[in-house]
Amino acid sequence: MRRLLNKRKLFILSFSIVCVVIIAVGLLYWYSEQVAEQKLQDYIRRLTDEGFTTEEHSLADFDVDGVTKTHWFGDFRSFARQEDIDHIYFDKRIHALYFLRSILGYGIEANIFYYK
């Protein structure tokens, strides 16, 4: 009888720990998504303030021939301005801002800034 109670207590404790871990991971994921959304809205506001048009559009919908990743938002924005880009897209699924530019003899290149 005592052994059965110990097994039951161990099962309840294990189950409780698993539930707490699952809830904690879920809350961390939710929080990271909220932070990413807040960052995106800040970047969109800054781009709009500087005269860029922003639009949500999946990068997968475009047929691009090359990709260039930018690591700093300031570099991304400066390069877009330098290339005379006025339209910047964002893809929430991959957490990225990007713009497309034509490269003669090469095709279309996507310049991507991952904000998460």
Residue 60 is given by DSSP the state: G
Residue 28 CA to residue 79 CA, distance in Å, equals 34
The answer on pLDDT for 3 being more than 70 is no
Using one digit for the tens of pLDDT, what is the confidence trace for 69-104? 999 999 999 999 999 999 999 999 999 999 999 887
Residue 2 CA to residue 109 CA, distance in Å, equals 69
Cβ–Cβ under 8 Å, residues 61 and 104 = no
Domain positions in the chain are 2-114
The answer on pLDDT for 52 being more than 90 is yes
The answer on pLDDT for 1 being more than 60 is no
Q: E-strand spans in the chain?
A: 53-56, 66-70, 87-91, 96-103, 107-114
Percent of the chain with pLDDT over 90: 75
Residue 96 CA to residue 60 CA, distance in Å, equals 12
Residue 78: predicted pLDDT: 92
